[in-house]
Structure 1
């Protein structure tokens, strides 16, 4: 197996909005290498539908902060939310300077509204394909000092004298050593660990494992959000919350509004809606009969429904794994507790989301804190010394069995016994020095799932309530 070496000032692991934002704001005198585990567009940012929340057109950011705090059941860090919503006021104008064009109606911004927002403040581009449009334009805006490399699996960070100085990886099947003056983790969340998810399949918690191995602190890993509306079909497809903001309601088989008891109705916070839908005995539908110009405003959804033979006026939905609020502990500039290592986006626990993220605050977080990471980066020259790596020696069939088991406990109402069984099964795995890309990828996924299971079980030890009777907010608090 051949060895290839790269040298860069800044290594950014990821190619989604958090990664690209950081790269856009790094001084042009520095070399930047962005690496993607799959194709460059295989990120959750590219899949984002609803849009970007911002109080750009409001007199102040106070109402946006209040909605963010309310959605999190007051568990978000107030000071960090101040940063998010106040600096986020400029995000729309800043993205437009990079060529992003947000949707307009009669010359005015076509603002949407989503769950737990009391105002229309969601900016979108291309209807329900905001992520694809925004990411395409921003990637085209990257300067010549930025290089992107696809199909790179980073399986270990390299440390020297307590500082991260690079990474060991596979470029396709070729061994790759990357020496860097600073490393930024922008690897996304954990949703790809199971099949029933809105996430890209490449988003499997790699950043958590890499950070943990080099001593960075992980916080609130048990805070996991389930989106209420994925298409209830064989393959999961996200149904944007903006559809409910446009007037769609969640109904049962008889047409009864299942969220009628809540003051915000079908636009209640995600955790509350997801839990109600999970408890429903029969099928749940989105009644879209009152949504105007559905096909124009939600072209991706309309096309998907047409392909699957679904009536766009009565869309079957069910909850699915969506977002990870916990992650790597960072300060307000994205610095971890390890010298030379930074984290941004969903992999980082900035404190802005608490136990439940407010809709469309995720892309805003990527932009606001990506800019901050770019300002905070400090580079140090250090020689690269590769270390011995190991991986679980596990056959593909055995790995698929364990991954299926992850799907049985990584749910809105997790089984503690399934978790314990998974931990026992993975504890007995043997390690090998004959590391391949496949073994490395499998090891990262199993280690990420182990971290999640251990965190959930640790929190359970201190909770006196029965697991099955708690609300989603309490469950992941």
Structure 2
């Protein structure tokens, strides 16, 4: 097998907003390599519809901080939340300096409202295509000392003298070795492990596996958020929460408001809405009759509904896997417990989301903590030593059956027996030294699923032990 070798100061695994933010804020004296498992646009950041939350227009960040903590079920870390919302007050101005044209109307910024927010503070670009527009603009701003490589799968981190010294993987089908003075995990979440998700199919928890293999601490892995409104058709499409912020209401087949008993109605926290819709008997729709200028404000939604022959005034929806609140444990600057290794974005457990993420805080988290990672970056070159790489020896058919099993328990209401069965079935998988890119990718997915399965069975914190039923956390028995 042919071998490609690269040497850089900083390797960033991922090309979403968290990765790009770090790259944009690193000094030009450093050589930086961003790698994407598929195309550089195959990220959850590019799919983001709702926008970015910020208290920029408010007298202070106090209300945003309170809303974040309440939505988290008071499980978020208050000091980290304060960092997020206070430093996030300047994010809109900073992004504008990079050329982001936030939507405006006759009164100024066209800010919207989403679930569990006490007021309008969601900034959009291009209506419901915020992520695509933001990422296209920011990627164009990447300076010359930053290189982006597509179709690169990283399967192993290397260590020398207890410090991460680089990574190995595949560039296409060519074996790749990258020596780096620091490595940043910005690999996203876990949604691609199942079919019914708002996430990119390629986002399969790779960063969790890479971090665990070199001894980094993982935390709160069982904290998983399900979005209430994915389009209820054969393939999943996210229906942005901003639609409810603009006046849409969740109704049943008879037109009754499904969330009428909740004080926030259809704008209740995501976990509570997702649970209600999961338990509801019969179909649920978004009644958009009160949404003004829906075609202008939600062009992506309109196009999707037209493509599927759906009346945009009455949109069928159901919950789906959306966001991972847990991940690689980091400090306030994205440093993991392993020297030279950083984590940022959805792969990291920054402590700002708790049991349930407040809508549109994810892009803000990428920006705020991405800047912090760049500020704290320490580059130290170490000799590059590679250990032998192995992968699970699984056929396409067997991997497909395992993936189906994952889809049966990585749901809003899994049964502990199905989780245990998956762990038992994958416990003694044979390994092979003849690793192909496909085997490596399948191995990472199965290892990530096993990490999540173990975490769910352990029921990591007292909140889960008290509930022992899954909304965004816990399992049923």
Give TM class, smaller chain. Answer: over 0.9
CA deviation after TM superposition for structure 1 residue 50, in Å: 0.4
Contact 2:275 2:471 in 1 (8 A): yes
The aligned counterpart of 1:123 is: 123
Deviations 1:39-73 (A, max 9, x none): 00000000000000000010000000000001011
Deviations 1:351-376 (A, max 9, x none): 00000000000000000000000011
User: Counterparts of 2:438 and 2:83 in 1: how far apart (Å)?
Assistant: 40
Deviations 1:9-32 (A, max 9, x none): 000000000000000000011110
User: Counterparts of 2:35 and 2:116 in 1: how far apart (Å)?
Assistant: 35
The aligned counterpart of 2:435 is: 435
3-state secondary structure, aligned to 1:318: strand
The aligned counterpart of 2:228 is: 228
CA deviation after TM superposition for structure 1 residue 390, in Å: 0.6
Contact 1:355 1:476 in 2 (8 A): no
3-state secondary structure, aligned to 1:475: coil
CA deviation after TM superposition for structure 1 residue 475, in Å: 3.1
Give the 5 Å matches for 1:308-347: 308-347=308-347
Contact 2:71 2:356 in 1 (8 A): yes
3-state secondary structure, aligned to 1:12: strand
> Relative to 1, partners in 2 of residues 1:437 and 1:100: Cα closer, same or farther, differing over 3 Å?
same
Deviations 1:362-412 (A, max 9, x none): 000000000000011101111211110110011111000000000000000
The aligned counterpart of 1:390 is: 390
Contact 1:283 1:316 in 2 (8 A): yes
The aligned counterpart of 1:475 is: 474
CA deviation after TM superposition for structure 1 residue 464, in Å: 5.9
Give the 5 Å matches for 1:435-474: 435-459=435-459, 467=468, 470=469, 472=471
Contact 1:159 1:166 in 2 (8 A): yes
> Relative to 1, partners in 2 of residues 1:181 and 1:461: Cα closer, same or farther, differing over 3 Å?
closer
> Relative to 1, partners in 2 of residues 1:476 and 1:27: Cα closer, same or farther, differing over 3 Å?
farther
Contact 1:163 1:338 in 2 (8 A): yes
Deviations 1:399-447 (A, max 9, x none): 0000000000000001111111100111121001111101100000000
Contact 2:8 2:179 in 1 (8 A): yes
Deviations 1:312-333 (A, max 9, x none): 0000000000000000000000
- Structure 1: gaps (5+ residues): none
> Relative to 1, partners in 2 of residues 1:111 and 1:77: Cα closer, same or farther, differing over 3 Å?
same
> Relative to 1, partners in 2 of residues 1:342 and 1:460: Cα closer, same or farther, differing over 3 Å?
closer
3-state secondary structure, aligned to 1:175: strand
The aligned counterpart of 1:377 is: 377
User: Counterparts of 2:475 and 2:104 in 1: how far apart (Å)?
Assistant: 38
The aligned counterpart of 1:285 is: 285
User: Counterparts of 1:446 and 1:5 in 2: how far apart (Å)?
Assistant: 27
| Count of paired positions | 475
Alignment RMSD (CA, Å): 1.3
Contact 1:223 1:476 in 2 (8 A): no
3-state secondary structure, aligned to 1:383: coil
The aligned counterpart of 1:139 is: 139
Matched, 1:18 2:21: no
The aligned counterpart of 1:39 is: 39
The aligned counterpart of 2:28 is: 28
TM-score, length-scaled by structure 2: 0.98
- Structure 2: gaps (5+ residues): none
3-state secondary structure, aligned to 2:459: helix
3-state secondary structure, aligned to 1:40: coil
3-state secondary structure, aligned to 1:282: coil
Deviations 1:46-103 (A, max 9, x none): 0000000000010000000000001011111000000000000000000000001000
The aligned counterpart of 2:254 is: 254
Contact 1:393 1:430 in 2 (8 A): yes
Contact 1:227 1:274 in 2 (8 A): yes
Contact 2:467 2:474 in 1 (8 A): no
The more displaced of 456-465 and 141-150 is 456-465
Contact 1:151 1:171 in 2 (8 A): yes
Contact 1:16 1:44 in 2 (8 A): yes
User: Counterparts of 1:237 and 1:195 in 2: how far apart (Å)?
Assistant: 11
